Amino acid sequence: MGYRNLIQNKLVFVFNKINNLARWAVFESKKEKQFNFETGDLDYSTENKQAKIVVTNETKLPGSDKVRLSLMVRNKPIGTMRSYDTMTLDGVTYKIDKVTVDDKFVSLIEVVNV
């Protein structure tokens, strides 16, 4: 077993152990298909992936009713997230604001409710 597999197995173990801190979220990843020249829009398909996340920080943005969440998630279930992807947590939809760390094992992502 290589180090990559060992790390992936330990991450599953860690996220299962912190069960009271981890919550299930659904990530919607948009896959670009093609540009529609008649309408001027991008035609795309979406892919939903469910993953456990840990919310590390929650901040209310000044002057608005928006909330920014900082969260940690394993990369394997969700893949690479981009700024046009979304996440749903407890019935609230969040836009991916920025990915601050993506080391191919764990991502630290900031999201803002829409």
The enclosing domain of 92 has a CATH number of: 2.40.10
Question: Given this model, what pLDDT does residue 93 score?
Answer: 96
**For the chain, how many structural domains are there in total?**
1
Question: Given this model, what pLDDT does residue 36 score?
Answer: 77
Question: Given this model, what pLDDT does residue 37 score?
Answer: 82
Q: Is the model's pLDDT at 6 over the cut of 80? A: yes
User: Which residue range forms the structural domain that includes residue 59?
Assistant: 3-113
Average pLDDT over residues 7-17: 85
3-state secondary structure the chain: CCHHHHHHHHHHHHHHHCCCCEEEEEEEEEEEEEEECCCCEEEEEEEEEEEEEEEEEEEECCCCCCEEEEEEEEHHHHCCCCCCCEEEECCEEEEEEEEEEECCCEEEEEEEEC
Question: Given this model, what pLDDT does residue 56 score?
Answer: 93
pLDDT in tens, 33-68: 777 788 888 777 888 999 999 999 999 999 999 999
- Residue 1 binned pLDDT confidence (cut-offs 50, 70, 90): low
